[in-house]
């Protein structure tokens, strides 16, 4: 295995069409391309042909968007069908309260998923909001990481009013920094370079030993110099390869990653070693 892609949306009909709803056209515009809907076989083949593993992400923003969720059962089914190619993270809607806590528990204990993913812009919540602390307590107890979307998002992009989607929920300081301070036993991954708050994300990942970042959603070709500099030095054990498939394919990300000036041993950490350690693979 050459690498582990820590940020993969399946890109199948269940994902793109059923859950994307009205937002999918925004995402196409944001990423500058229409996404080809994949069969499960084509999805697995994409990762197998590159000799990489992927972390498939569930999705549940029902309370705020009314959209269908990409169920944890569906993610678990894909993982069980291709156990050498995928591991899975659950998607949980924090506004569902006790139901969300129960779902996280079932996803990890019974379905065998390995973490929980949140998209605060779509779900409309602050990670450091004390109302959700029982959920973080449960996830910490389950000893799996949480993945939070950071920075700008394709959802609502380019539409008047952003279709009600607010970016403020995806700012690293204070929301991730506070959460990391209050839950030192919880492993937190900030997804994407967190633009326009990239420097804040770098600072939190440097300061809090329990905070990591995935570098998904952007081609490495566009990584700002400071991100490359920190990934190459202070944060070489904290950064993870992530593509944000299908919006950025792992093929494209990896090709562009080859070209950026990182030390070879750092590249190996970002592509594989850091994720192996974090996910216990």
Binding site for Zn ion (CB under 5 A): 244
Closest CA to 72 of 100, 37, 98, 46: 100
- Report in angstroms how near the CB of residue 271 gets to Zn ion at its nearest: 18
Q: Provide CB contacts within 8 A for 77, sequence distance 6+.
A: none
Nearer to Zn ion, 122 or 139 (CB): 122
The token duo for 119 is 């998209």
- Count, residues in the chain: 281
Closest CA to 8 of 112, 72, 89, 69: 89
CB closer to Zn ion, 217 vs 236: 217
At 54, is the secondary structure helix, strand, or coil?
Answer: strand
CB closer to Zn ion, 6 vs 202? 6
Report the distance separating Cα 167 and Cα 22, nearest Å. Answer: 18
Rounded Cα distance between 216 and 92, Å, is 20
31 or 95: whose CB is closer to Zn ion?
A: 31
Q: Is 154 exposed, middle or buried (0-12, 13-18, 19+ CB in 10 A)?
A: buried
Choose between 60 and 244: whose C-beta lies nearer to Zn ion.
244
| Structure letter (DSSP) for residue 160 | G
Whole-number minimum distance, CB 117 to Zn ion, in Å?
Answer: 8
Question: Minimum distance between the CB of residue 111 and Zn ion, rounded to whole angstroms?
Answer: 20
- Shortest gap between Cβ of 123 and Zn ion (angstroms)? 13
103/244 with CB nearer Zn ion? 244
Residue nearest to Zn ion (CB): 244
Q: Least Å distance between CB 7 and Zn ion?
A: 6
Per DSSP, 86 falls in state: E
Q: Measured between alpha carbons, how far is 252 from 247 in angstroms, rounded to an integer?
A: 10
Sign of the four-CA dihedral 159, 248, 166, 90: positive
Min separation Cβ 9 and Zn ion, Å: 6
Q: What angle do CA 38, 65, 178 make, to 5 degrees?
A: 100
Measured from the CB of residue 28, what is the shortest distance to Zn ion in angstroms? Answer: 14
In the bound state with Zn ion, the residue whose beta carbon lies nearer, of 94 and 236, is 94
């Amino acid at each position: 295995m050459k690498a582990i892609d820590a940020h993969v949306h399946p890109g199948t009909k269940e994902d793109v069409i059923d859950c994307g709803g009205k937002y999918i056209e925004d995402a196409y515009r944001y990423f500058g391309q229409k996404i080809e809907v994949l069969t499960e076989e084509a999805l697995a083949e994409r990762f197998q042909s590159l000799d990489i593993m992927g972390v498939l992400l569930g999705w549940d923003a029902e309370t705020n968007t009314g959209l269908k969720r990409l169920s944890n059962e569906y993610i678990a089914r894909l993982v069980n069908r291709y156990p050498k190619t995928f591991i899975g993270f659950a998607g949980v809607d924090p506004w569902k309260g006790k139901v969300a806590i129960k779902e996280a528990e079932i996803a990890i204990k019974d379905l065998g998923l390995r973490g929980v993913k949140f998209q605060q812009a779509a779900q409309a919540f602050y990670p450091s909001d004390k109302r959700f602390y029982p959920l973080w307590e449960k996830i910490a107890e389950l000893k799996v990481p949480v993945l939070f979307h950071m920075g700008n998002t394709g959802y609502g992009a380019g539409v008047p009013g952003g279709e009600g989607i607010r970016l403020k929920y995806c700012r690293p300081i204070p929301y991730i920094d506070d959460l990391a301070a209050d839950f030192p036993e919880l492993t937190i991954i900030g997804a994407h370079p967190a633009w326009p708050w990239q420097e804040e994300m770098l600072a939190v990942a440097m300061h809090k030993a329990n905070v990591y970042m995935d570098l998904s959603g952007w081609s490495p070709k566009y990584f700002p110099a400071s991100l490359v500099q920190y990934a190459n030095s202070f944060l070489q054990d904290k950064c993870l390869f992530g593509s944000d498939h299908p919006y950025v394919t792992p093929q494209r990300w990896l090709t562009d990653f080859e070209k950026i000036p990182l030390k070879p041993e750092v590249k190996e950490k970002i592509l594989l070693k850091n994720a192996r350690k974090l996910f216990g693979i």
